[in-house]
């Protein structure tokens, strides 16, 4: 973690030059700051110690409602709930500068990389889950006129306690013109539509071809100008064998063939050889959950392009195969993170809660009953 300031600076420098935020390294600490530090939190307004908020079923809790210009630098939350599915039931949304459709929309667990509905600890630069059930986000989020952040309980069980702290900077002068805004989009395929079910080995598909990404799992699709900064993804296997025989493919500015094409799922997440069955987490990449290669296996992975975000001037489609040439039918749950100009393209409708809860599906293939 001693390298955190320098690496976080790389992330910040990929955003247009906002006042005093292009460098987060220690050597800037002696420099005067031109912002006022604030925090929006769930602290007890009476001065007591009841520092959380309950969220009834169907209720929306406001976490931040703040005029700009400003910059959110950190979001922390922790949750106490009797609902075993609360990480899927609580939906996080963020709105910039008065927009009616959110730029961030995801189940809160998925937003923090917990896409299988349960907790695991990991440490990356922009997202971290620490002991015990502490959710942290360090993505910088600028806003010119207004920022609003909410959490909605879409489940049937009351959230007993939702604690939060949101740290942000208030500026007296407008930020850089034409800023890029933070976006995060949830997607899922439960199950992914595999091209075939009567197969016995992943190697049976080696001769299949996929040059244009047809049928790939879609992490995100955006129009406008911006850059892609990463993805968190979780997989629940519906079939036996290694789930990761799939290449990442990025289609920039309307490309028919991807200008960025990878060599395998574990390769994109900067591991190798099925991750060797060993979980790991580093600043820019990790596989903190590595499941057994059988139906029911559960894995969670992440990759952040803070060293070199993927820019686009008109559009971007970020995808990955689900098995070589998309032959597998596992469940995928992901959140993609990027910065772009507004307005953004409409997000797909968020699946209903029941559909978001990870369950094995009858898809046929190794280890799975036929449809």
* Residues in Cβ contact with 331 at an 8 Å cutoff, skipping those fewer than 6 apart: 188, 189, 190, 191, 192, 235, 236, 237, 238, 358, 359, 360, 361
The model's pTM: 0.92
Look at phi and psi of residue 47 and say left if phi exceeds 0, alpha if psi is from -120 to 50, else beta. Answer: left
CB count within 10 Å of CB 70 equals: 23
- Domain presence at residue 40: yes
Q: Are residues 186 and 73 in the same domain?
A: no
Alpha-carbon gap, residue 205 to 132, rounded angstroms: 42
> 3-class DSSP state for residue 58?
coil
The closest of 77, 96, 92, 75 to 148, measured between CA atoms, is: 96
Residue where a domain stops, chosen among 140, 171, 202: 171
- Domain presence at residue 218: yes
Confidence (pLDDT) at 16? 34
Q: Are residues 247 and 323 in the same domain?
A: yes
Residue count of the chain: 371
Alpha-carbon gap, residue 62 to 95, rounded angstroms: 12
Confidence (pLDDT) at 34? 94
Q: Are residues 166 and 185 in the same domain?
A: no
Number of domains in the chain: 2
Residues of the chain scoring pLDDT < 50: 1-23
Q: Are residues 201 and 315 in the same domain?
A: yes
What helix, strand, coil percent values describe the chain, rounded to 5?
Answer: 10, 40, 50
Confidence (pLDDT) at 337? 98
Q: Are residues 62 and 96 in the same domain?
A: yes
Q: Are residues 255 and 150 in the same domain?
A: no
Alpha-carbon gap, residue 5 to 28, rounded angstroms: 10
- DSSP structural state of residue 267: H
Contact 288/281 with Cβ under 8 angstroms?
yes
Q: Find the domain containing 16 and state its range.
A: 4-171
Contact 336/187 with Cβ under 8 angstroms?
yes
- Domain presence at residue 363: no
- Domain presence at residue 140: yes
Contact 151/60 with Cβ under 8 angstroms?
yes
Instruction: Read off the CATH number of the domain in which 43 is found.
Output: 2.60.120.1390
Alpha-carbon gap, residue 275 to 83, rounded angstroms: 32
Confidence (pLDDT) at 22? 38
Contact 304/125 with Cβ under 8 angstroms?
yes
> 3-class DSSP state for residue 146?
strand
């Amino acid at each position: 973690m001693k390298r955190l300031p320098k690496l976080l600076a790389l992330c910040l420098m990929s955003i247009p030059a906002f006042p005093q935020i292009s460098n987060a390294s220690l050597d800037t600490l002696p420099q005067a700051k031109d912002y006022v530090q604030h925090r929006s939190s769930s602290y007890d307004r009476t001065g007591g110690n009841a520092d959380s908020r309950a969220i009834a079923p169907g209720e929306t809790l406001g976490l931040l409602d703040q005029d700009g210009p400003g910059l959110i630098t950190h979001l922390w939350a922790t949750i106490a709930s009797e609902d075993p599915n609360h990480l899927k039931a609580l939906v996080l949304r963020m709105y910039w500068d008065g927009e009616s459709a959110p730029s961030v929309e995801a189940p809160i667990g998925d937003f923090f990389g917990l896409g299988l509905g349960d907790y695991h600890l990991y440490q990356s630069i922009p997202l971290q889950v620490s002991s015990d059930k502490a959710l942290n986000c360090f993505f910088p989020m600028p806003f010119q006129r207004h920022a609003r952040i909410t959490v909605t309980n879409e489940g049937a069980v009351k959230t007993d306690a939702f604690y939060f702290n949101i740290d942000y900077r208030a500026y007296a002068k407008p930020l850089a013109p034409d800023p890029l805004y933070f976006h995060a989009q949830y997607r899922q395929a439960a199950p992914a539509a595999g091209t075939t079910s009567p197969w016995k080995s992943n190697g049976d598909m080696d001769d299949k071809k996929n040059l244009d990404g047809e049928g790939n799992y879609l992490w995100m699709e955006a129009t406008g100008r911006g850059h892609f900064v990463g993805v968190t993804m979780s997989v629940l296997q519906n079939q036996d064998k290694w789930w990761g025989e799939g290449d990442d493919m990025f289609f920039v500015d309307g490309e028919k063939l991807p200008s960025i094409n990878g060599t395998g799922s574990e390769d994109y997440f900067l591991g190798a050889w099925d991750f060797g069955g060993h979980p790991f987490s580093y600043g820019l990449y990790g596989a903190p959950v590595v499941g057994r290669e059988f139906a029911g296996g559960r894995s969670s992975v992440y990759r952040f392009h803070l060293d070199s975000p993927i820019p686009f001037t008109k559009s971007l489609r970020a995808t990955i195969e689900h098995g070589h040439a998309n032959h597998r039918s596992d469940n995928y749950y992901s959140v993609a993170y990027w910065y772009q100009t507004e307005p953004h393209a409409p997000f797909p409708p968020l699946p209903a809660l029941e559909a978001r809860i990870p369950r094995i599906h009858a898809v046929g293939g190794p280890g799975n009953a036929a449809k």
